């Protein structure tokens, strides 16, 4: 699968067009722009000036774009619709600033989301923030960076973990079969954050959510990764460390597995070693890619088309 790449980080709109994504934008079709608005205090998240040219282009093409993300399971400033939307606006994701509204993908107060029937090794049902599935097309816009549980956080994590409902997020993180607290735990009743699942298990579960959500769009889904401000950890923290490599560029593909693999390779090539393994030695980041490939979400083989 082709992965289109530009080292010019101002060329988001051009990469969108070069990758052929205009072909999946239709007149009056709602287009969900999956984004991570960034926890207040974090400065590495994807800023609106990088991505708003894409929203404006989609509008020119006749589509109806909106920014979206689902609420977090843990406590913070993106944990319910009201504070999440406030955070989005404070981080510049307003209609006036970007040409698209921010709409939180969960129904207000809903923690369960919509149930999707699937047939994967870990899951037969997924629980997804319902609003994300109302659009006809989805463009997944991802800040590519490190992550303590998955080694790196790319398109798979953005869509998979990012669009799970609170129940879905809990199910991706937990491993009740092996947990010593299972007899006393009430997290399933209260939907509290759980971090017990191993990095390998959580990565495989994320890949299954990503595959199940992508399947809902029947080919009308595309992915753009911004390899910029590559911080060691995710944008869910209210702080961030400095980038671990200089800004590398923007990459886009219809295949999220090929895209994430290409971005890992670009970062590691720039670093001269496996940067994500060095950052998180206990995490084998390749698990999410190999599991996604196994369940036919995409291929780790790619051709880099440099623009």
* List of residues contacting ligand SF4 (CB under 6 A): 174-176, 179, 181-182, 185, 187-188, 194, 196
Determine contact, residues 80/165, Cβ cutoff 8 Å.
no
CB of 73 to ligand SF4, least distance (A): 11
CB of 234 to ligand SF4, least distance (A): 20
Closer by beta carbon to ligand SF4, 193 or else 271: 193
Determine contact, residues 34/141, Cβ cutoff 8 Å.
yes
CB of 193 to ligand SF4, least distance (A): 9
Instruction: Encode the chain in three state secondary structure.
Output: CEEEEECCCCCHHHHHHHCCHHHHCCCCCEEEEECCCCCCCCCCCCCHHHHHHHHHHHHHCCCEEEEEECCCCCCCCCCCHHHHHHHHHHCCCCHHHHCCEEEECCCCCCCCCEEEECCCCCCCEEEECHHHHCCCEEEEEEECEEECCCEEECHHHHHHCCCECHHHHHHHHCCHHHCCCCCCCCHHHHCCCCCCCCHHHHHHHHHHHHHHHHHHCCCCEEEEEEECCCCCCCCCCCCCCCCCCCCCEEEEECCHHHHHHHHHHHHHHHHCCCHHHHHCCCCCCHHHHHHHHHCCCCCCCCEEEEC
CB of 202 to ligand SF4, least distance (A): 11
Backbone angles phi, psi at 217, to 5 degrees: -95, -5
- Residue 289: name the closest of 88, 150, 189, 84 by CA: 150
CB of 140 to ligand SF4, least distance (A): 28
Closer by beta carbon to ligand SF4, 26 or else 74: 74
Closer by beta carbon to ligand SF4, 182 or else 278: 182
Distance (Å, whole) CA 138 – CA 277 = 31
CB of 240 to ligand SF4, least distance (A): 27
CB of 91 to ligand SF4, least distance (A): 30
Closer by beta carbon to ligand SF4, 196 or else 237: 196
Closer by beta carbon to ligand SF4, 105 or else 172: 172
Half-sphere exposure of 2 (CA within 13 A, CB side): 11
Closer by beta carbon to ligand SF4, 1 or else 185: 185
CB of 205 to ligand SF4, least distance (A): 12
Closer by beta carbon to ligand SF4, 85 or else 191: 191
Closer by beta carbon to ligand SF4, 94 or else 188: 188
């Amino acid at each position: 699968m082709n992965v289109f790449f530009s080292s010019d980080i101002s060329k988001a709109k051009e990469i969108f067009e070069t990758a052929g994504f205009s072909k999946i934008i239709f007149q009056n079709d709602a287009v969900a722009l999956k984004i991570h608005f960034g926890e207040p205090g974090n400065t590495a998240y994807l800023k609106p000036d990088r991505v708003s040219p894409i929203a404006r282009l989609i509008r020119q093409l006749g589509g109806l774009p909106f920014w979206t993300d689902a609420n977090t399971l843990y406590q913070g400033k993106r944990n319910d619709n009201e504070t999440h939307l406030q955070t989005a606006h404070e981080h510049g994701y307003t209609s006036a600033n970007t040409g698209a509204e921010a709409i939180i993908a969960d129904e207000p107060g809903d923690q369960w989301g919509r149930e999707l029937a699937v047939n994967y090794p870990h899951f037969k049902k997924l629980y997804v923030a319902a609003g994300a599935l109302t659009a006809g097309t989805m463009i997944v816009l991802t800040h590519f960076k490190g992550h303590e549980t998955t080694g790196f956080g790319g398109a798979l994590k953005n869509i998979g973990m990012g669009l799970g409902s609170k129940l879905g997020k809990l199910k991706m993180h937990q491993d009740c079969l092996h947990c010593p607290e299972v007899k006393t735990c009430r997290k399933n009743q209260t939907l509290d954050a759980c971090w017990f699942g191993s990095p390998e298990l959580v990565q495989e579960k994320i890949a299954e959510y990503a595959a199940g959500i992508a399947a809902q769009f029947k080919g009308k889904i595309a992915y753009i990764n911004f390899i910029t401000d590559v911080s060691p950890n995710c944008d869910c923290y209210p702080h961030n460390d400095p980038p671990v490599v200089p800004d590398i560029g923007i990459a886009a593909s219809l295949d999220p597995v090929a895209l994430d693999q290409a971005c890992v390779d670009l970062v590691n090539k720039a670093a001269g070693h496996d940067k994500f393994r060095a950052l998180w030695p206990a995490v084998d980041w390749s698990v999410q890619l190999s599991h996604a490939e196994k369940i036919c979400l995409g291929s780790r083989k790619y051709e880099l088309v440099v623009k």
